Structure 1
Amino acid sequence: MAKKTNVPEIRFAGFTDPWEQRKLGEVAHRVIRKNEGNQSDLPLTISAQHGLVDQRDYFNNQVASRDMSGYYLLENGEFAYNKSTSGDSPWGAIKRLTKYEKGCLSTLYICFGLDQGDPDFLVTYYETNRWHGAVQMIAAEGARNHGLLNIAPDDFFETALTLPCLTEEQKQIGCFFTQLVSLITLHQRKYDKLCAVKKSMLDKMFPKPGETKPEIRFDGFTDPWEQRKLGSVAASFDYGLNAAATEYDGQNKYLRITDIDDTTHEFLKSDLTTPLADLAMSADYLLEEGDLLFARTGASVGKTYLYRQYDGTVYFAGFLIRARIGESADPEFVYQATLTDAYKKYVAITSQRSGQPGVNAQEYADYQLMLPSRTEQQQIGMTLRSLDNFITLHQRKLNLLRNTKKSLLDKMFV
């Protein structure tokens, strides 16, 4: 049986007709409503990630122009096309005004309103990459166009859309993705809130510069903290294995700077490798419980990772430095101390080089950190670690939802 064309891989029950191709100009009209009376003092700008946002908030309360009388006046539900490209929108972002009743946009944008179909479907359609080919072709071939940044409005409305014939199917798809986006937004807010709580705890559970006691501490602890060099609580500092990475052998993992997540500092296991070396002669580079790694060069200088047994058999690479924390300090506490603003400031100052930034083993050993009793260290480390686990759990849920959306965008559209 021949496969139907113009039919999505996944669709709601009851819909079987093939989708049809329409030009944008057949279902939408251009909005060229000038803000002659300067009705709104609300300038907007398009962000690929955040949609149509208040430019005064987005750009630190700075507006592009105080006089918006010549701008386009956009109303709730209408769309705008930003011809500027970005990583998130390689052919420009199309967004719909939903947060505000009215807003002003520069005439550099192409604005339009929908005449036929479901707006939630259309705004979701523009999150796929299906229309990018049409825009690219028009930009390359149009006589009036000189690249993507200068596509003419008339040509823009010639771009093709592939739509369900029935508005009802559009509505169901649009409603589904609207609910999915709301769920993602909810989890994003929870994640952001947890990250804010963690930042606040780091600020309050470690003494501020020049002080010997933190703002918040557990009951029963009153003694002042003492300042110690990191080198005095680490049994050794070692540089990593100078070896290339090869295909993962199923057991021996190789940890490089890029394998440490920039946000969670966890070992990313999506692209595992094994060191291309004689592993029988490389035992010195095996990580053990309590080993703390520091990135020593490049844009990630200062990034840290604390080895945990569940990460398995791990060798660490040459652009990392290992501090083997001794018995006088709790490894989890020392790791959490490297997430504080005081540590980040030290790295920012120390890493300054004539070439790319870097911090060597001796400079890490010289870092001065504040230490309470080991018992208090353990309580602080355990508490912050529990919060980290909670944050990681929410991040995984958020990533799962995002990946689900990405997959459905590919399978539910033609």
Structure 2
Amino acid sequence: MMTEHRQKLVPEIRFKGFTNAWEQRRLSTIIHLFNGNSFSSKGAQVTGIRWLKISNVSVGKIDWTESSYLPKEFWDHFESYRLGPGDYVMALTRPVLKNELKVARINDSHALLNQRVAKLMFEQDAGFGFQLLRKRDTVDAITNAISGTDPPNLSAKDFEKVSVVIPSIEEQKKIGEFFESLDNLITLHKRKLDGLVTLKDGFLQQMFPAGDEVMPRVRFAGFTGNWEERRLGEMLTERNEQFEESEDYPLMSFVGNVGVVPKGEQYDRSFLVKGDDKKYKKTELNDFIYSSNNLETGSIGLNRTGKAVISPVYSIFYSSNDSESLFVGLLSKRKDFINKMIHYRQGVMYGQWRIHERDFLKIIVLTPTISEQNRIIDFFKNIDEQIAAQTAKLKQLRQLKVAYLQRMFI
């Protein structure tokens, strides 16, 4: 039996003073799609007017990383295709990514609209309409309405197939303003997280010797002198014990970013084939682990979860002094370290590459005294803790928004 608030077409949560039932409408009556133009750029332009393409439109954001440009005179000739701050756009080809629509607001740039990208024209409150398109039920309805083309292409006719429920203009404005404030807060925390990650990357460059240098450019007070060349074999020992999964040693999928996963977070291990007689490799807290098939994408780092068993495809190393394995873990975040590892990679096909453990242990690195290593380790540990806390805060805000989208809409 339908609940009372569903029968009356009212949401579970709403602002004080609003009591009227919401109204069912076709999505096409409140949001119109204005398709872009097929421009001819007359050759590659390095400056001029930005050209908004499908590749620039992602979920909730415009990505100008790979900007294309049109000649400046196009701005005057194609007035109806102009975009500016405050405009909303949607990708029409492959419009859905991971159960979300590729719809975004332009905040800080002007551009001309390319074909297969639509400018969204709202009959009522734009902020409310933007959030309506980000609601999971709306995304599912649009996905089901898209014509059977490959790749999927969203059309104005597809919009006509989708029904939504909306409140009065006044209530729309309240809801739109609320979610705009929440989006701004999420953006603020995302910038703070990005800033911390950038800060860490900067210190990883400055606090370790680069190229032919024998000491870092940035150093803690009281430490002087050149860093010492050492082979990894002097610092690490291979751990190659076969082990069975148990309560004390659960099966773990290693992802490289394991160092910043909040304590207690569980891994999705459903894809792993398990068996009573299957043998794994044992790993302990602060072990250094890598898989040579995916060095560039992150299958390298430290075990930050503790006792576990993992797939035998991984190479595992430990040190009698935790400082040394932790320090190698920091080194592994640097491109020059990855390049040294790749130098020893054997095989000609992706997925069949391998770096033998004996070759890995031949790699020469520069290291300071244990005392200086510990200062550096503690410094980056503090940054990692800030990143983890900020990541958790951002995740909490995004989950809160999802919950509000479900309870403040019908």
TM-score in terms of structure 1 length: 0.80
Q: Which residue of 2 aligns with 1:291?
A: 287
Kindly state the Cα deviation for residue 88 of structure 1 after the two structures are TM-superposed.
2.6
The equivalent position to 2:340 in structure 1, one of 337, 346, 350, is: 346
The equivalent position to 2:202 in structure 1, one of 195, 200, 203, is: 200
The equivalent position to 2:326 in structure 1, one of 329, 332, 340, is: 332
Kindly state the Cα deviation for residue 262 of structure 1 after the two structures are TM-superposed.
6.7
Q: Which residue of 1 aligns with 2:3?
A: 3
The residue identity in structure 2 corresponding to 1:126 is L
The residue identity in structure 2 corresponding to 1:394 is Q
CA distance in 1, matches of 2:340, 2:187: 35
Residues 32-70 of structure 1: per-residue CA shift (max 9 Å, x gap): 79899x9x93322442235345xxx431x4337777445
Residues 106-161 of structure 1: per-residue CA shift (max 9 Å, x gap): 23333342222x211111111123233443454338xxxx46744443x1452434
CA distance in 2, matches of 1:288, 1:120: 50
The residue identity in structure 2 corresponding to 1:26 is T
**Distance change >3 Å, CA 95–CA 336, structure 1 → 2:** closer
1:48 pairs with 2:58: yes
CA distance in 2, matches of 1:196, 1:409: 32
The residue identity in structure 1 corresponding to 2:69 is V
Contact 1:255 1:267 (8 Å CA) reproduced: no
Kindly state the Cα deviation for residue 224 of structure 1 after the two structures are TM-superposed.
1.0
**Distance change >3 Å, CA 385–CA 251, structure 1 → 2:** same
1:85 pairs with 2:94: yes
CA distance in 1, matches of 2:122, 2:209: 57
For 1:107, what is the secondary structure of its paired residue? coil
1:105 pairs with 2:113: yes
CA distance in 1, matches of 2:346, 2:70: 35
CA distance in 1, matches of 2:330, 2:35: 54
The equivalent position to 1:222 in structure 2, one of 221, 224, 240, is: 224
The residue identity in structure 2 corresponding to 1:121 is F
Q: Which residue of 1 aligns with 2:211?
A: 209
CA distance in 2, matches of 1:382, 1:257: 23
Residues 194-226 of structure 1: per-residue CA shift (max 9 Å, x gap): 111111111111111222111111222222111
Kindly state the Cα deviation for residue 190 of structure 1 after the two structures are TM-superposed.
0.9
Contact 1:79 1:97 (8 Å CA) reproduced: yes
Contact 1:287 1:307 (8 Å CA) reproduced: yes
Q: Which region of structure 1 is more displaced relative to structure 2, 126-135 or 337-346?
A: 126-135
CA distance in 2, matches of 1:50, 1:126: 11
CA distance in 1, matches of 2:372, 2:217: 14
Contact 1:301 1:358 (8 Å CA) reproduced: no
For 1:81, what is the secondary structure of its paired residue? strand
CA distance in 1, matches of 2:101, 2:372: 53
1:371 pairs with 2:367: yes
CA distance in 2, matches of 1:83, 1:33: 10
CA distance in 2, matches of 1:18, 1:352: 67
**Distance change >3 Å, CA 237–CA 67, structure 1 → 2:** farther
CA distance in 2, matches of 1:252, 1:352: 31
The equivalent position to 1:257 in structure 2, one of 254, 259, 274, is: 254
Gaps of 5+ in 2: 42-47
CA distance in 2, matches of 1:127, 1:115: 17
Kindly state the Cα deviation for residue 278 of structure 1 after the two structures are TM-superposed.
7.3
CA-based RMSD: 3.7
Gaps of 5+ in 1: none
1:115 pairs with 2:109: no
Contact 2:289 2:314 (8 Å CA) reproduced: yes
Contact 2:37 2:114 (8 Å CA) reproduced: no
The residue identity in structure 2 corresponding to 1:313 is K
Identity of aligned residues (%): 23
Kindly state the Cα deviation for residue 342 of structure 1 after the two structures are TM-superposed.
1.4
TM-score in terms of structure 2 length: 0.80
For 1:354, what is the secondary structure of its paired residue? coil
Alignment of 1:154-303 (within 5 A): 155-234=157-236, 236-239=237-240, 241=242, 251-258=248-255, 260-261=256-257, 264=260, 269-271=265-267, 285-298=281-294, 303=299
CA distance in 1, matches of 2:340, 2:73: 45
Q: Which residue of 1 aligns with 2:44?
A: none
Kindly state the Cα deviation for residue 314 of structure 1 after the two structures are TM-superposed.
2.3
Kindly state the Cα deviation for residue 28 of structure 1 after the two structures are TM-superposed.
4.2
The equivalent position to 1:322 in structure 2, one of 297, 316, 326, is: 316
1:20 pairs with 2:23: yes
**Distance change >3 Å, CA 15–CA 148, structure 1 → 2:** farther
1:394 pairs with 2:395: no
CA distance in 1, matches of 2:141, 2:322: 64
For 2:388, what is the secondary structure of its paired residue? helix
For 2:230, what is the secondary structure of its paired residue? strand
Contact 1:82 1:110 (8 Å CA) reproduced: yes
The residue identity in structure 2 corresponding to 1:202 is L
The residue identity in structure 2 corresponding to 1:49 is V
CA distance in 2, matches of 1:390, 1:96: 29
Aligned residue pairs total: 390
